[in-house]
Amino acid sequence: MRVFIGFDDTDNKEAEYGTGKLARWFEQVLPEGCVLWGVLRQQLLVHPDIPYTSHNSSACVVAEMADPGLFSTLVERAVKHIEEYALPGSDPGLCLALEEDSSLTDLMQFGAFCTQKIMTQKQAITAAGKWRLSGHGGTQDGVIGAAAAVGLTASGWAGRFIEFNRLRQCADPIRIRKLEQMGIRVVSHDRDAKMPGPDDPVHTRGWLRPRMLGGQPVLIVQEQTKGVWESLGKKAKEPHKNEKSNRQG
């Protein structure tokens, strides 16, 4: 069974690490019986009335859990983790929910709304329903992004993987075959829908970040020259800054 753990608004303008890194660190404290499946960055609405540091994004850890009874232990460890690493001046929020539950529909809808319009803490609390949603400092506005991170990730059709099978350690270029062995599906962004060959190289520019499509990591590539591919997307330059939110990997 999978569990979704959403983190949001844990950094400040002077931070040396953002919410994405905080979320990736959570793997180190997963209890026995839980293993990391992936960590995703979720993009929320960028709007002048929403305070943020760089991109207004949140992060969701997805873990495989052998025993549903471990859920309470995960909650305890997630609370301790966010309280330990959230930085002064932040407004941290945390959300945990299990998959395959009809109540996730409300969180999925809430997550989609958070990409389109300004949402409130009250709306986040309503969407979370029985699941764990808590603020851990400041205005506690991070509950909005944390709930959205869980809902968007649970939908299976949103987000960018910032961790999956040690993708940060992969070579560049990397062969299609290796990506598929890692569990990353490769899809060609091409008018004629060409199929990359298993031994074709993919140049990632040192930034391998598959998308979540259909509940699985998918790397979208385009052909540079015959049999040589390049992944779409690249690491952003140093962003503009408003007042708050989260830098992601």
User: Average pLDDT, stretch 44-66?
Assistant: 86
Say which residues have a Cβ less than 8 Å from residue 226's Cβ, sequence separation at least 6.
Answer: none
For 182, how many CA atoms within 13 A lie in the half-sphere containing its CB?
A: 25
Annotated domain spans of the chain: 2-161, 170-231
Chain segment 159-217, per-residue pLDDT in tens: 999 999 999 999 999 999 999 999 999 999 988 878 999 999 999 999 999 999 999 99
Instruction: Check the CA dihedral 175-181-183-185 and report its sign.
Output: positive
Residue 51 pLDDT: 67
- R_g over Cα of the chain: 18
Chain segment 214-245, per-residue pLDDT in tens: 999 999 999 999 999 999 988 876 544 444 44
Asked if pLDDT for residue 95 goes beyond 90, the answer is yes
- Rounded to whole angstroms, the Cα distance separating 237 from 4 reads 29
Name the pTM for this structure. 0.92
- Rounded to whole angstroms, the Cα distance separating 3 from 228 reads 37
What CATH architecture is 2-161?
Answer: 2-Layer Sandwich (3.30)
* Three-state DSSP class for residue 172: coil
